[in-house]
Structure 1
C-alpha cells in the first residue's frame, strides 16, 4: 500500500472518530431537550384522571386536535390505559399524546 493511500485512510479514520463524537454529543443534547419537555407530565397522571388524546391525523385545520375526555384506568411507566365512557373500549396510549382535562 502506498503512503498516499495510508495517509488518506488515517485521515478518514480520524474524521470518522470526530463525527462519532459530535453525533453522540448531539444525541445527548436532544435527549435532554426531550426529557425536559416530557418528564414533568409523566408523574402527573393518576388512575381516575380525565384526559384528552391527541389525534394522529387531522383531515383539515378546523377539526379538533384532541378527542375525549377519557378516563385513566391504569398507569404504566410511559403510557396509560384509557376507557372511553361512550363505548367502554379500553386503549393503551403513550403520555406524549395525552393532555389533562380540567372539568368545571
Structure 2
C-alpha cells in the first residue's frame, strides 16, 4: 500500500514522490529535454527539427537541412552544456544530428 503523506505536503513534493515511487524520471527527462531544445534553439532551428529523442545520455536530433546539421555540429559541446544548464542536471553527454 502507498505511503500516506501528511496533509501539509505541497503538490510539488507529492509529485516528486509519485515520480520516484513509479520510476518515471527517465520519461520526465525525455519530455524536459524536448522542451529545453525548443526553448533554447528558437523558431529558426525548430522549423528544421523533425525529431528529438533521448537515449542513454545521447540526444538524437533529426534535422531536415544538411546545412543546419553541419552548422550545429560545430557547436555540439556548447549545445550540450546549454541544455544541461537549462535542465539543471547533467542528462545529456552527446548529441548526434541526423
TM-score by length of 1: 0.26
Which has a greater percent of strand? 1
Which has a greater percent of helix? 2
Larger radius of gyration: 1
**Higher relative contact order, structure no. (Cα contacts within 8 Å, ≥ 6 residues apart):** 2
